[in-house]
Amino acid sequence: MSALAGLYEEIRACRECELAKYRTKVVPGEGAEDADLLFIGEAPGWHEDQQGRPFVGPAGQFLDQLLASIGLRREEVYIANVIKCRPPQNREPLPVEIESCRRWLDRQIEIVQPQMIITLGRHSLARYFPNDSIGKVHGKPRRLGDVIYYPMYHPAAALHQGSLRRTIETDMLKIPQILARGKDLPQDAVESHQLSLF
């Protein structure tokens, strides 16, 4: 069994927070175990909860289009969420839920060891940079150690607010160049110890 498949079994058995009561299926995440790019969304929605797969509803269709715009299929990247179970009525994840799910995403990142972590939306941005606002930092890469962090708006934001569509598309198109620059990107001024606090 691959490291990820073993981890998915553990995640599917998780009953650590209240969301276990409401879920149809757990949505651990999916993609290539050796992906260079790892995308982090917020939480499963209705479609994801039904299928047990991330980003398979309307926001997911847009994400697939965005990936295609840089010549990638979803199987070639890794896609996860901050929390693995759908909150009732799609409400925002509670801090306690984000906290109890934290170790799963940490282990996914440890296994995949991506070169670039792309945060989609506010909640996944906050996991790394709690003081940043998405409006200011989207589309701006920052390197901490060997990993490049790249905040983007959530694809669902474009579905609710059409004017953001072009911004998201433009930010996505920058990814291949950023990845190619990789270790040449200057190290971010944020101290790496700050990361471990969140």
How many Å from the N-terminal Cα to the C-terminal Cα in the chain?
31
- Site membership for ligand URA, residue 44 (CB under 6 A): yes
Binding residues among 65-84 for ligand URA as defined by CB under 6 A: 81
Considering the complex, state which of residue 84 and residue 143 has its C-beta at the smaller distance from ligand URA: 84
Size of the site for ligand URA (CB under 6 A): 13
Q: Smallest distance, Å, CB 193 to ligand URA?
A: 28
Q: Which two tokens stand for residue 184?
A: 């040449």
Stretch near ligand URA under the rule CB under 6 A, chosen from 11-19, 41-49, 66-74, 174-182: 41-49
Report the DSSP pairing between strands 147-152 and 116-120. parallel
- Site membership for ligand URA, residue 43 (CB under 6 A): yes
Distance CA 50, CA 76 (A): 23
Q: Smallest distance, Å, CB 21 to ligand URA?
A: 20
- Site membership for ligand URA, residue 108 (CB under 6 A): no
Considering the complex, state which of residue 142 and residue 154 has its C-beta at the smaller distance from ligand URA: 154
Sheet containing strand 142-144, edge to edge, reads: 30-31, 78-81, 37-41, 116-120, 147-152, 142-144
Half-sphere exposure of 160 (CA within 13 A, CB side): 5
Q: Smallest distance, Å, CB 130 to ligand URA?
A: 18
AA letter at 28:
P
Considering the complex, state which of residue 47 and residue 142 has its C-beta at the smaller distance from ligand URA: 47
For residues 114-136, b (16+ Cβ closer than 10 Å) or e, as one string?
bbbbbbbbbbbbbbbbeebebee
Please give the residue ranges that form the binding site for ligand URA (CB under 6 A).
41-45, 48, 54-55, 57, 59-60, 81, 156
